[in-house]
Amino acid sequence: MRVGCTIKRALMRICKITILIVLLCSSAFGAPSQEISPITQEAKALFAIESIRLQNTQGRFYNIYIAIPKHKKDKTSVFYMLDGNAFFPLLLNEIAKKESTQPFQSLPIIVGIGHDSTLAFDRASRTYDYTPLLSKELRDSFSGGGGINIFLDFITQKVQPLIHKRFGIPHKELLFGHSFGGLFVLYTLLHKPRSFSHYVCASPSLWWGEGKFITLPLEITHYPDSIISTRGSLEANSQRQAKYKIEEIVQALQKSAPNPKSIVFVELMGQNHGSSIPYALNLGLDTLMQ
């Protein structure tokens, strides 16, 4: 009888510990919601908002969202973001909230690049578009990727020319990406650094493909005006095994940069993988408008 009670108590303790671990991991990772936030009336009062569908060379369609400031327009600055279905309304709403207490002197044109889906995040499409082609031995463990160069060409050969033709060639262009999108931003920086003047690499999924597409020391043919990498403090110990941490990559970039101060790592205190997104977006906006 005592043995049975002892086993029962032990099992209950194990269950409690398991639940606690799950809750802690969930808190640390904090996956973003699949619901698309509506754009507030306050944001609509600040921006004229348009959307078009563009097709890439493979016949895949994308939603391109464009927000043009109505009164404080700065045509010389463009803020491009991946996962546009989710982050385009999020940033506009963040700007509207900030405008009510700390009015902006000027605002950039904002461009959201989203997948042709009703979801905030089309997991299969973003995995393909945002990740590099892997060697055969890694494809079983990391399946569904490999379209990063096709998607990068789509942005630089179709999306950017569309914006340039419409508004003129800007002096400053920022690319923002989070998670797999952050990985894409880093890849763009390493392989086509002249594509943008500012980069925001938020919580990049460096574990993908065991980080084999990164080799230290880094060699970049051109250093842009600004490189910002961010991560929520609560996700620091929850990330999957990666070849390098984002801090190591930032340090490697700083060592070879003509202006090391233009490359920064920001740890967003008290934030997890999902909750860090608006803070990273605001950081990118503030940097672009300096």
pLDDT of residue 115 exceeding 80, the answer is yes
Torsion over CA of 180, 215, 212 and 84, rounded to 10 degrees? 10
Distance CA(44)–CA(88), nearest Å, equals 12
Cα-based distances in Å from 63 to 77, 109, 119, 203, 266: 21, 16, 12, 24, 30
- Reduced to 3 states (helix: H, G, I; strand: E, B; else coil), residue 69 is strand
Point out the least confidently predicted range of 24-38, 120-134, 155-169, 209-223: 24-38
Distance CA(15)–CA(55), nearest Å, equals 50
pLDDT range class, residue 237, cuts 50, 70, 90? low
- Using an 8 Å Cβ cutoff, are 231 and 276 in contact? yes
Q: What tokens does 189 get?
A: 């920086």
Angle between helices 180-191 and 123-130 (to 10 degrees): 20
Q: For the chain, what is the largest distance between any 2 Cα atoms, rounded to a whole number of angstroms?
A: 82
Cis status of the peptide bond prior to 161, with omega within 30 of 0: no
Q: Which domains, and CATH codes, for the chain?
A: 38-288 (3.40.50.1820)
Q: What is the CA radius of gyration of the chain?
A: 21
Distance CA(50)–CA(70), nearest Å, equals 13
Buried b (16+ CB within 10 A) or exposed e, 259-268: eeebbebbeb
Distance CA(21)–CA(238), nearest Å, equals 11
Q: What is the pLDDT of residue 8?
A: 46
Q: What is the pLDDT of residue 238?
A: 60
pLDDT tens profile 72-91: 888 899 999 999 999 999 99
Distance CA(117)–CA(121), nearest Å, equals 8
Q: What is the pLDDT of residue 140?
A: 80
pLDDT of residue 27 exceeding 60, the answer is no
The mean pLDDT value for 234-254 works out to 84
The pLDDT > 90 percentage for the chain reads 71
pLDDT range class, residue 23, cuts 50, 70, 90? very low
Cα-based distances in Å from 13 to 9, 18, 22: 6, 9, 14
pLDDT tens profile 170-218: 999 999 999 999 999 999 999 999 999 999 999 999 999 988 888 888 8
pLDDT of residue 236 exceeding 70, the answer is no
- Count of CB atoms situated within 10 Å of the CB of 245: 15
Q: Do the strands 61-69 and 263-268 form a parallel or antiparallel pair, or are they unpaired? A: unpaired
